[in-house]
């Protein structure tokens, strides 16, 4: 049945779109590239339109007004309006400068042996288990360990982090049920209490240790004489913990799903392990962990597909941009040798993902080692998707290794 694209509304999507958005995204890109939703916002699906929005200095990320309407005054509102991702310069510049010191290539090189060690330990456990849930038993553990180490989150709290993260990020979906808002608010409150204590402890006992180094640089760092307030510290740490693990969990889970669906590409990677770098780029393109972004047009913007007036709320489809046939030949086909691959899963511009290098390193090590060590990996039961449109990943992916 042909899709009725003109009546599509991003704010009224259902489970079919979440399961597989691409038939709709292809139709939107072809027929309605600057698609108007009922609330006046637009949804962009062409690569060059999305890219231009991200590159423009006139597009704003501050969502105080939008989140005010969506949440009212509540912990979720405080969280999302204080984290750097939903702010513009000058506040965005201050927080970004303070965090970026921890993500330099030199710092990340120090983390490689740590990542290697965690992956080896996890794979030993996988070997013992034989049958496992790839998400619970592997994909989600690595990023949680890394980012917890960087922020100095003690062991005892780590198991709760993914639940918090899903509850908080879930509230960003275009459609959110009241019980999901309640879960998101409870998660921000509990998480804030834990971080408040940790920050106070670290403030009183700075030790410059490798573990928790990022937290320390956020507490004591200054940019042009400005330090972060306690609220800013708490909310940006929550953001870092969420940004750092939900997306990377999805990168690993989605990639394994793609390899299981494409046995020829799985075989190719087994035969040529050096392809892992370009394979990770292709996994990020085909199943981008973060599928939708947002900006507010601070000025009129002229895009290749038309003009968007100042004041318009813009949804960018990273997922659709990454499968635009004008940029990627045969875009629905996964090709781990694809070159060039100008995928924009980490976007571009002033908010370009700060953790992109770290996520790539984690993805390469985790997937490279998993594939090499367990070449007979097969699925043993149905996959369950995370039921969100903005974030694409699996909640469960049962597999066996022999």
Q: Shortest gap between Cβ of 138 and ligand HEM (angstroms)?
A: 15
228 Cβ contact list (under 8 Å, min separation 6): 94, 95, 98, 218, 219, 221, 236
Question: Among 25, 34, 42, 85, which residue sits at the site for ligand HEM (rule: CB under 6 A)?
Answer: 85
378 Cβ contact list (under 8 Å, min separation 6): 260, 399, 400
Considering the complex, state which of residue 36 and residue 364 has its C-beta at the smaller distance from ligand HEM. Answer: 364
DSSP 8-state secondary structure symbol assigned to residue 101: G
Q: Shortest gap between Cβ of 293 and ligand HEM (angstroms)?
A: 4
Question: Among 59, 233, 251, 308, which residue sits at the site for ligand HEM (rule: CB under 6 A)?
Answer: 251
Question: Among 78, 248, 254, 265, which residue sits at the site for ligand HEM (rule: CB under 6 A)?
Answer: 248
Asked if residues 190 and 177 have their Cβ atoms less than 8 Å apart, the reply is: no
Considering the complex, state which of residue 93 and residue 189 has its C-beta at the smaller distance from ligand HEM. Answer: 93
Asked if residues 11 and 37 have their Cβ atoms less than 8 Å apart, the reply is: yes
Instruction: Compute the distance between CA of residue 338 and CA of residue 197 in angstroms, rounded to an integer.
Output: 47
Say whether residue 393 binds ligand HEM (CB under 6 A). no
Considering the complex, state which of residue 248 and residue 265 has its C-beta at the smaller distance from ligand HEM. Answer: 248
Question: What is the radius of gyration, based on Cα positions, of the chain?
Answer: 21
Question: Among 28, 126, 243, 321, which residue sits at the site for ligand HEM (rule: CB under 6 A)?
Answer: 243
Residue 37's nearest CA partner among 28, 27, 49 is 28
Where does this chain touch ligand HEM (CB under 6 A) — which range of 62-70, 187-195, 288-296, 323-331?
288-296
Residue 283's nearest CA partner among 303, 265, 301, 296 is 265
340 to 379: interface string for ligand HEM, x by CB under 6 A:
-----xxx---x-xxx--xx--------------------
Helix (H), strand (E) at residue 43: strand 42-44
Q: Shortest gap between Cβ of 171 and ligand HEM (angstroms)?
A: 16
Pairing of strands 313-317, 42-44: parallel
Give the distance, in angstroms, between the CA of residue 128 and the centroid of all CA atoms in the same chain. 30
110 to 149: interface string for ligand HEM, x by CB under 6 A:
-------------------------------------x--
Binding to ligand HEM in span 292-321, by CB under 6 A: 293
Instruction: Compute the distance between CA of residue 13 and CA of residue 136 in angstroms, rounded to an integer.
Output: 28
Say whether residue 75 binds ligand HEM (CB under 6 A). no
Where does this chain touch ligand HEM (CB under 6 A) — which range of 117-125, 151-159, 161-169, 244-252?
244-252
4 Cβ contact list (under 8 Å, min separation 6): none
Q: Residue holding tokens 């309006």?
A: 81
Binding to ligand HEM in span 12-71, by CB under 6 A: 61
Q: Shortest gap between Cβ of 355 and ligand HEM (angstroms)?
A: 2
Strand partners, 230: none
DSSP 8-state secondary structure symbol assigned to residue 37: P
Q: Shortest gap between Cβ of 244 and ligand HEM (angstroms)?
A: 3
Binding site for ligand HEM (CB under 6 A): 61, 84-85, 96, 99, 147, 240, 243-244, 247-248, 251, 289-290, 293, 345-347, 351, 353-355, 358-359
């Amino acid at each position: 049945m042909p899709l009725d694209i003109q009546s599509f509304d991003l704010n009224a999507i259902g489970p079919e779109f979440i399961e597989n958005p691409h038939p709709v995204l292809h139709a939107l890109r072809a027929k309605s590239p600057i698609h108007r939703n009922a609330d006046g916002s637009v949804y962009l699906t062409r690569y060059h339109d999305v890219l231009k929005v991200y590159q423009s200095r006139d597009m704003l990320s501050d969502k105080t007004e939008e989140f005010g309407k969506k949440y009212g005054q509540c912990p979720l509102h405080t969280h999302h309006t204080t984290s750097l991702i939903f702010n513009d310069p000058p506040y965005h510049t201050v927080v970004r400068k303070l965090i970026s010191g921890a993500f330099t290539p030199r710092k990340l090189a120090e983390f490689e042996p740590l990542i290697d060690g965690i992956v080896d330990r996890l794979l030993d456990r996988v070997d013992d288990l034989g049958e496992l849930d790839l998400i619970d038993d592997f994909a989600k553990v690595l990023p949680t360990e890394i980012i917890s180490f960087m922020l100095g989150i003690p062991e005892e709290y780590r198991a709760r982090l993914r639940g918090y993260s899903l509850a908080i990020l879930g509230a960003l979906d275009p459609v959110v049920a009241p019980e999901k808002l309640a879960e998101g608010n409870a998660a921000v409150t509990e998480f804030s209490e834990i971080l408040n204590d940790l920050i106070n402890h670290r403030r009183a006992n700075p030790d410059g240790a490798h573990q928790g180094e990022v937290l320390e640089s956020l507490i004591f760092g200054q940019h042009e004489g400005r330090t972060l307030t306690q609220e800013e510290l708490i909310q940006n740490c929550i953001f870092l913990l969420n940004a750092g693990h939900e997306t990377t969990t999805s990168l690993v889970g989605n990639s394994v799903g793609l390899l299981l669906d494409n046995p020829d590409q799985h075989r190719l990677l087994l035969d040529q392990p050096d392809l892992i770098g370009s394979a990770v780029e292709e996994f990020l393109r085909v199943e981008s962990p973060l599928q939708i972004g947002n900006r507010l047009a601070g000025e009129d913007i002229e895009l290749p597909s038309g003009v968007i007036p100042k004041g318009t709320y813009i949804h960018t489809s990273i997922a659709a941009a990454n499968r635009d046939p004008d940029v990627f030949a045969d875009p629905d086909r996964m090709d781990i040798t694809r070159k060039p691959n100008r995928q924009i899963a980490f976007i571009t511009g002033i908010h370009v993902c700060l953790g992109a290098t770290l996520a790539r390193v984690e993805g390469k090590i985790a997937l490279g080692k998993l594939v090499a060590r367990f070449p007979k990996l097969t699925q043993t039961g149905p996959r369950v998707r995370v039921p969100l449109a903005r974030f694409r990943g699996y909640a469960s992916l049962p597999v066996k290794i022999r």
